[in-house]
Amino acid sequence: MLIRKAFTLNNAHVVRNCYSNRCKFSLHAHTAVIETFIQGSKVDNAGMLMDFGIAKIVLKPFLELHQDAVLLWMHDSKKYKDFIKSKTDNWIELTFTPSAELLAAYFQFYFNSLIGRIELKNNEDENIEIIKTRYHETRSGWAEADSTDVMDLIVDQKWPLTINSMGPAVISKLKKIEKELKTELFGDSKIEIETPIQQVTRPT
C-alpha cells in the first residue's frame, strides 16, 4: 500500500556548471512542490497506513528549515557566499550543488531517516518506509529519487547529501523545532508522538 504527502517549499539558488545561463549565473527562486511516497504492508487501528498528520509532524519541520532560504553550495566562490550571507540570515550551505535531482535525493535521505525514528503507537506496520521523493522545481519539471539513488549518489558519485552550515535564522528555526519535538532533528534518538485514544474496539 502506498500513500502520498505533498509539501510546498520556497527557496532560492544558483546551479553552477549547467547549460542554462539563467540557472548558472543568476540567483533565482522557485516555489517547489515536494512529494513523498510512503509504503507499508498493513493499515493501523484507524485503517490508515500512516496518519497524514504524523508524516506532517516529522517531515514538515525539516522542510521549514529550508523555507525562504538561499541554498548555497559549499564549493561556490567565497565572494558569492560572503555576499549572500551579508544580505540575509536565512541561508543554508549544502555540501552539494542544489539541483532538483540532488535535492530530491537529499530530502529522500532525511525523510526516510526521520520516518524511521518515529515511535508509532497505533499498530502501524513496523517496516513503513519512504520509497521515493519527488522534487517539483517547476510545474513542468521534477526530479525523483529513491533510496538506491541516494546510495549511488553518496557512494559511487561522491555527492555528500548533507548540510555544511546554516545561517542564524535557520539555527533559530532549528532550536524551536527541536524544542517542540523534544529531541534533536539531526540525531538518532526516537521521535515520540502521543498515543491515540481507542474510541472503538474492532472485533477480530
**Coil, helix or strand at residue 202:** coil
Burial label for 78, CB within 10 Å (0-12, 13-18, 19+), is: exposed
Main-chain dihedrals φ then ψ at residue 118, nearest 5 degrees: -75, 135
Q: What is the pLDDT along the chain (204 residues), one digit of tens a residue?
A: 999 999 999 999 999 999 888 888 889 999 999 999 999 999 999 999 999 998 888 899 999 999 999 999 999 999 999 999 999 999 999 999 999 999 999 999 999 999 999 999 999 998 999 999 999 999 899 999 999 999 999 999 999 999 999 999 999 999 999 999 999 999 899 999 889 988 898 887
| Residue-range domain boundaries for the chain | 2-189
Which fold, 2-189?
Tetrahydropterin Synthase; Chain A (3.30.479)
**Terminal Cα distance for the chain, rounded:** 21
As beta bridge partners, residue 4 has: 37
